[in-house]
């Protein structure tokens, strides 16, 4: 019996589900802890990990949760976190550095929520999968940059997507359990997937929807950080403004659902109520709708395959409202087309795309790079890397080397443009 079938036959658990939350002081992590508070007796947080930039918050979270272990990615901040924990009467084991975060990802628990931002989440994703933990995956970058590695490490039913778009796509396959769709079993595509014509991923359009490329030349960080519908961290908010985040989501959907990239489309939906859709070959389309709140996919990821009542308010169907859809302007926002090319190339190309973007976003937020130059820089770095060739079989070392090269090359281009 497959893992998905076993879990779907089980009733809602009577014992608290033990959870490890990676990235606990960030947007995903703080919302996850809100879900835990709102469902007393449903979860027990056994471990928390964070970068270390907000030591007081991390110590407060661990003390409140009664965590067994706390990991601090910045090894230099671990001693301060440990001192703050002891002051709060919390005697959690403190783990330091990237190795400590990976160790916590393999901690004895029922589910690991990976809410780490960026490429740093790959080692934790692999550690959780190799330890046999159910992985609620909010760190899309780890799947995207390490696709073959993650696919090899994952067992059927082991990954539950927490991105709102991929959570929505899984909901729109009513005849197939979500875990089977995200099994990442190589070469094993359920025959019913043949009924799918295309996946449609929605995008809010970000704060610059409707602007031309020329009109984007003078926008600054404060403008890019004013997202119209979502409250997120600065990097993902800028990624939403450039549509790089949507490009990453296209690659993620391709890897999760084994649907060819040419059958995955992006449509702009400013209200952010329809999170994604599946169109079938008979002309019918299934869509998942909820107000823009990450608490719904986070709660489902931690409690899968069961739902958490009251995780967030639903749509108010008694109120008149309009939902609109419009095509994506690929000229003003070329990041999605570039991501499709990167996804098609495979190998280290996704790692290069992601790393170059992280460096460019950092430069933009620091006032050292113009907004349109973010994706221009990524495109140039990707092009240069593709001309250099790809390894025959991807290894973690290949991913790390490509990541480092892309960051260095992006830094050179950014310095030259300054």
How does pLDDT run across 242-274, given as a tens digit for each residue?
999 999 999 999 999 889 999 999 999 999 999
CATH class of the domain whose range is 3-162: alpha beta
Q: Is 157 annotated as a binding residue?
A: no
Q: Is 204 annotated as a binding residue?
A: yes
HSE-CB at 336 with a 13 A cutoff on CA atoms is: 25
How does pLDDT run across 128-158, given as a tens digit for each residue?
999 999 999 999 899 999 999 999 999 888 9
The token duo for 10 is 């089980």
Q: Give whole-number Cα distances, 313 to 138, 188, 267, 388, in Å.
A: 21, 37, 25, 50
The token duo for 183 is 């099994």
- Name the pLDDT band for 285 (thresholds 50, 70, 90): very high
Contact (Cβ atoms closer than 8 angstroms) between residue 253 and residue 202: no
Q: Is 25 annotated as a binding residue?
A: yes
Q: Is 249 annotated as a binding residue?
A: yes
Q: What φ, ψ does residue 134 adopt, rounded to 5°?
A: -70, 130
Q: Is 27 annotated as a binding residue?
A: yes
| Contacts for 245 with CB less than 8 Å, ≥ 6 apart | 236, 239
Kindly report which listed range (183-192, 317-326, 372-381) carries the lowest average pLDDT score.
183-192
DSSP secondary structure, 8-28, as one string? HTSPPPSSPEEEEEESTTSHH
The token duo for 95 is 């783990």
Q: Is 165 annotated as a binding residue?
A: yes
CB atoms within 10 A of CB 304: 24
pLDDT tops 90 at residue 386: no
Contact (Cβ atoms closer than 8 angstroms) between residue 267 and residue 165: no
- Name the pLDDT band for 231 (thresholds 50, 70, 90): confident
Q: Is 163 annotated as a binding residue?
A: yes
The whole-angstrom separation of Cα 400 and Cα 193 is 34
Per-domain boundaries in the chain: 3-162
How does pLDDT run across 166-181, given as a tens digit for each residue?
999 988 874 544 444 4
Q: Is 164 annotated as a binding residue?
A: yes
HSE-CB at 124 with a 13 A cutoff on CA atoms is: 36
Closest by Cα among 298, 290, 250 to 271? 290
Q: Is 240 annotated as a binding residue?
A: yes
The whole-angstrom separation of Cα 49 and Cα 78 is 11
How does pLDDT run across 46-76, given as a tens digit for each residue?
999 999 999 999 999 999 999 999 999 999 9
């Amino acid at each position: 019996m497959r893992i998905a079938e076993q879990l779907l036959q089980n009733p809602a658990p009577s014992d608290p589900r033990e959870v490890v939350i990676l990235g606990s002081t960030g947007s995903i992590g703080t919302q996850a802890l809100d879900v835990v508070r709102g469902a007393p007796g449903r979860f027990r947080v056994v471990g928390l990990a964070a970068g270390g930039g907000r030591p007081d918050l991390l110590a407060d979270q661990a003390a409140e949760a009664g965590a067994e272990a706390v990991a601090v990615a910045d090894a230099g901040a671990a001693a301060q976190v440990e001192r703050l924990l002891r002051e709060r009467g919390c005697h959690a084991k403190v783990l330091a550095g990237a190795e400590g975060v990976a160790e916590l990802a393999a901690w004895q628990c029922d589910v690991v929520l990976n809410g780490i931002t960026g490429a740093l989440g790959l080692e934790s994703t692999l550690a959780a999968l190799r330890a046999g933990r159910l992985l609620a995956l909010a760190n899309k970058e780890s799947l995207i940059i390490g696709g073959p590695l993650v696919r090899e490490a994952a067992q059927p039913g082991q990954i539950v997507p927490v991105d709102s778009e991929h959570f929505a796509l899984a909901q729109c396959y009513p005849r197939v359990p979500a875990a089977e769709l995200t099994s990442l079993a190589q070469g094993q595509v359920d025959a019913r997937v043949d009924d799918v014509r295309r996946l449609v991923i929605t995008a809010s359009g970000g704060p610059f929807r409707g602007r031309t490329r020329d009109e984007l030349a003078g926008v600054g960080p404060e403008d890019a950080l004013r997202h119209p519908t979502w409250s997120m961290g600065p990097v993902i908010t800028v990624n939403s403004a450039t549509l790089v985040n949507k490009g990453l989501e296209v690659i993620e959907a391709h890897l999760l659902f084994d649907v060819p990239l040419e059958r995955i489309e992006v449509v702009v939906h400013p209200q952010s109520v329809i999170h994604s859709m599946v169109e079938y070959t008979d002309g019918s389309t299934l869509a998942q709708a909820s107000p823009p709140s990450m608490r719904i996919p986070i709660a489902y990821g931690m409690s899968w395959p069961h739902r958490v009542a009251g995780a967030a308010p639903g749509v108010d169907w008694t109120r008149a409202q309009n939902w609109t859809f419009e095509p994506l302007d690929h000229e003003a926002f070329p990041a999605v087309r570039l991501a499709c090319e990167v996804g098609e190339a495979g190998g280290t190309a996704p790692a290069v795309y992601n790393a170059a973007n992280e460096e460019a976003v950092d430069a933009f937020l620091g006032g050292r790079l113009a907004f349109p130059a973010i994706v221009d820089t990524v495109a140039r770095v990707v092009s240069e890397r593709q001309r250099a060739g790809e390894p025959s079989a991807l290894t973690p070392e290949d991913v790390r080397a490509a990541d480092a090269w892309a960051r260095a090359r992006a830094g050179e281009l950014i310095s030259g443009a300054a």
